[in-house]
Chains A and B, each alone.
Chain A
């Protein structure tokens, strides 16, 4: 009680003292985004989850960038770039007078220049860089993009020009530099913190050139940013940006409805009808680059027999799964790649329920009375699978119709993935979200012999087709090869494809200027709120 009295007294005193400040902040625009989880840190070089990238993106810029709401590569910290005819040398001309943020611990004395670029790449690349090991090191995206093998040299030509030389030609290189891992940190800040003996601060109290300055992070609760007044690009429309972290989708929806946040990440399908009916909300949707499936272990009995696998595809009720679990936010799948991707083979037949036929196939395969199997369900919600346990329950009931007794199994998520890769399961749910929109990014990691796929599937015919396709540069030829591969896959049925899910983003009607990214990124630099 006394707390309140003191607090109120102070508030009154403060109001009298700082009346003008209150007046101005009362008109400040705040956009609150209900996000789904905590970032690991505030340096995208060290991260590998979309959750972390979303939280880091307001702070940083890269040399190049993606057009807002699209995939085209545009200028960013580099105003323009030249490529040598042999495709090995890339020269970037840097933007001048780009300011870094200011914080309690750091006041920049100079504008952004070539040293910052060199530092940001060498930190991830060269073991002798003093920051290589800071914050645990481990630059997974940098490594994933083959940068250590690709880069031959990186040099500063003058304060505003840098030159990358590659070991071999690589067409997507410029686009790769627009990805989050290629963000630019301040070398001046890094040097100061190193001298102060706290180098890891640059990854926890970040300084960048981006549209928003970092203000405060309360773990598992909120991240707060303020618009950066000296930003070189178009100034953000809001003064304050807040990420309000709630892991539970139901809580995010409740907050959105109460206008405690204006944009909310991934609602559960169950909430969609209600959200769409709400007069105060709009729900943006985009088909995701993803697939959810059930892998049948082709190395284990009874799924080593294609007839058994076929029988499974004839009894699992895809429509019920879509109705009960995806609830309108999924498209029934029949191929590994989503229909929006080039080379999608629409001639592949969709699944058809045929219980008598399935029984016959099982009898032919030597299981007239069915068999026992396990059925794995991941313990977490994934973009391609809103509720694996519910799906497992539905499939379990379907399989019982032909005498197959399925036992639902689950492990802790990291463990789950490892065990599936090792092929410990008989039937396991899993899925994939694509990174770059190329079919190769689906076929090879999910079904080639080189992959530890969820079906433990290795088919010579299929493998030859996709290997040939990735080496070719002719789009028509590649398309043909991938379409053949999809036919082979349908014949062999190593997977039961469940669905491609739609990504939904509900927001208040007062929010304007938001565009969904095809890569699933969330960007608020051009977003306004009335």
Chain B
């Protein structure tokens, strides 16, 4: 179990990568947390005792079991309309993983395409795309996300779209910068003179070579997506009840802060741990993939 014990022998590059990743203990902890989260979300239906939206009308605001009045039926208590907290948190984990994955991958695909386009096309296209990204960056991201959700209407899908838009500039800039660096290299010039088509060059030759920083950005982007979606949920603009999204659960729970701490504290801890897990993994990946930053 301990990360310091010798890892099983792995072939070549992968083993090397794992060794340098495992050097960062935090990253290993993050990986374990992340794996646990993924298992929990995959098995959400099996693990939860109740449906996350089923209301037990006789059991409003039951405290967790270790507190007086707790019931074994509801290990972490119930919320104000009698829904099982544990089941909601577990399903919230699944939702958060889905949010993180969809937002990060959508932002990655769009951002990378735009960035590569800017790098390859150059000229007006480059200027237009990069200016647009600059403009998006000038607005505080949360403010921009709020305005976008206000336009599209509150809801989980729209909140996710808003987060994609505000995280887009990061991916685009990164993809463009790494593509430009790669383009100046010999092998690109070589394959160009060998007659490679621009499109092929873009995705087959250059993209794989600037993948490392993008991978790091995605793993950190996961964390940002979950955090921002939860913030929007908290402001009542994200997922709508009864969806067990953690931020949304928090916004509804505010009024019970004196009577039922668990309704308020637990979803927050869930957000914190999830974001932490992805940040740790992201840091670990950066250290492992980018030897220059590794210390």
Interface residues of A (CB under 8 A from B): 248-250, 253, 268, 270-271, 273-274, 317, 320, 323-324, 379, 389-390, 393-394, 396-397, 408, 410-411
Q: How far is the CB of A106 from chain B (nearest CB, A)?
A: 39
Q: Are B254 and A324 closer than 8 Å at their CB atoms?
A: no
Q: Does B241 contact A (CB under 8 A)?
A: yes
20 examples of A-B residue contacts, CB within 8 angstroms: A249-B255, A250-B255, A250-B257, A253-B258, A270-B80, A270-B259, A274-B258, A274-B259, A317-B57, A389-B240, A390-B80, A390-B241, A393-B55, A393-B81, A394-B81, A396-B242, A397-B53, A408-B240, A408-B242, A411-B153
Number of A-B contacts (CB under 8 A): 50
A324 touching B60, Cβ below 8 Å: yes
Q: How far is the CA of A274 from the CA of B252 in the complex (A)?
A: 19
Knowing that A253-B258, A389-B241, A390-B241 touch, tell me 14 more A-B residue pairs with CB under 8 angstroms: A249-B255, A271-B255, A271-B258, A273-B259, A317-B57, A324-B57, A324-B81, A390-B252, A393-B55, A393-B241, A397-B53, A397-B54, A408-B241, A410-B240
Q: Which chain B residue lies CB-closest to A323?
A: B60
Cβ–Cβ < 8 Å partners of A390 in chain B = 80-81, 241, 252
* Chain B at the A interface: SS class: loop
B154 contacts A by Cβ under 8 Å: yes
Interface size class of B (residues with CB under 8 A): 20 to 34
Among candidates A250, A274, A324, A411, residue contacting B80 with C-beta atoms closer than 8 Å: A324
Residues on A with beta carbons closer than 8 Å to the beta carbon of B236 = 379
> Are B242 and A270 touching (Cβ within 8 A)?
no
Tell me the B232-285 residues at the A interface (CB within 8 Å).
Answer: 236, 240-242, 252, 254-259
> How many whole Å from A211's CB to the nearest CB in chain B?
34
B residues near A323, Cβ cutoff 8 Å: 57, 60
Closest to A251 in B: B254
Q: B57-89 interface mask toward A, CB cutoff 8 Å, 1 = contact, 0 = none?
A: 100100000000000000000001110000000
Interface residues of B (CB under 8 A from A): 53-55, 57, 60, 80-82, 153-154, 236, 240-242, 252, 254-259
Minimum CB distance partner of B81 in chain A: A324
Name the residue on A nearest B83 (C-beta). A393
Nearest CB of A to B183, in Å: 47
Shortest Cβ distance from B150 into A: residue = A412
A393 to B54, CA, bound (A): 10
Please indicate the chain B residues that have their CB under 8 angstroms from the CB of A274 in the complex.
258-259
Residue on A with the closest CB to B55?
A397
Judging by beta carbons under 8 Å apart, are A248 and B254 in contact? yes
> Bound state CA distance, A320 and B80, in angstroms?
11
A253, A270, A317, A408 interface centre (most CB from chain B within 10 Å): A270
Residue of B nearest to A320 (CB): B57
Task: A419 to B280: give the CA distance in the assembly, Å.
Answer: 47
- How far is B258's CA from A268's CA once the two chains are assembled, in angstroms? 12
Residue contact B256 to A270, C-beta cutoff 8 Å: yes
**CB-nearest residue of chain A relative to B153?**
A411
The 5 tightest CB contacts between A and B, nearest first, are: A268-B255, A270-B255, A397-B55, A320-B57, A393-B242
**From residue A378, how far is it (CB to closest CB) to chain B in Å?**
12
Please, which residues of chain A bring their CB within 8 A of the CB of B252? 389-390
A133 to B54, CA, bound (A): 55
Q: How far is the CA of A138 from the CA of B2 in the complex (A)?
A: 73
| Residues of chain A with a CB closer than 8 A to B154's CB | 410
